[in-house]
Amino acid sequence: MTLQTIGIIGAGTMGNGIAQVCATHGLDVVMVDINDAALHKGLATITASLERLLKKEKLTAAERDAALARIRTSTNYDDLKGAQLVIEAATENLELKIKILRQLDALLAPEVIVATNTSSISITQLAAVTGRADRFIGMHFFNPVPLMALVEIIRGLQTSDATHDTVRDLALKLGKTPITVKNSPGFVVNRILVPMINEAFFVLAEGLASPEDIDAGMKLGCNHPIGPLALADMIGLDVCLAVMNVYFAEFNDSKYRPCPLLKEMVAAGYLGRKTGRGVYTYA
């Protein structure tokens, strides 16, 4: 299947990042969200990101303008009918994703592939609520999408080889490096990463070291570009907790129990950069 028009559900951090990457690689994009305010904010983020690339001479003014011209925004799902592939990039919430996927399934032509950008929810479970389970797949981008090279291509139990190959080829076209992953909570990267972040909260809660020293230890001792606590603030402490809750429920293993300090901070509304306060305080 030739992919030329990509539909994207969600104009938030992940959705607008995916839209930008698709548009800068010559694909037409229809970005859909629930209201104009969310779409305007998403488009403004894309514009600002392209301006930074222009200043760094990583693209020309003509390329910037062409990319923006390829992005169409809408609050109407009907505008997705011309897409050959639709990527759902809504909030990491099972009920919301199921609702969206059922709407898409009723609207889109049978041959259209639907992908979900999820960091922990079962691809097999989501595929089962659609009438196109063989044409459903996980396409997990990483934040910030324009800069991060990796895309996890997650096969559900029902995903066909043709669907996998089409989506893998798309990732390559977008300049990404895809890895193929079997369906399992957290897949590969977050299965390793989020428990490490959770353990950093246990270390912090036990008073073994300050947040700054914990982060410095992992940066300098393990050559990580950012410490686990600062990374949690960037991801969102609520997202980290949600992922750990999925692991704890799915694996029924105490090693995945969320750290009480992490739960307490989320309950307090200290979610990280997006709220101005997490492990660290942000202006």
Annotated binding residue 13:
yes
Annotated binding residue 92:
yes
Annotated binding residue 49:
yes
Is 76 strand, coil or helix? coil
234: left (phi over 0), alpha (psi -120 to 50) or beta: alpha
Instruction: Report the distance separating Cα 176 and Cα 21, nearest Å.
Output: 10
- Counting DSSP H helices and E strands in the chain, the numbers are 11, 8
Annotated binding residue 58:
no
- Could you give the residue numbers annotated as active site? 119, 140, 152, 190
Instruction: Report the distance separating Cα 87 and Cα 82, nearest Å.
Output: 14
Tell me which residue has tokens 């798309």.
Answer: 170
Handedness of CA 71, 77, 83, 87 (dihedral sign): positive
Annotated binding residue 269:
no
Annotated binding residue 122:
no
Annotated binding residue 56:
yes
Q: Does the bond joining 144 to the residue before it have cis omega, within 30 degrees of 0? A: yes
Annotated binding residue 254:
no
Annotated binding residue 173:
no
Q: Which residues are annotated as a binding site for NAD(+)?
A: 10-15, 33, 92, 97, 119, 143, 274
Q: Which residues are annotated as a binding site?
A: 10-15, 33, 49, 56, 92, 97, 119, 143, 274
Q: Which residues are annotated as a binding site for CoA?
A: 49, 56, 119
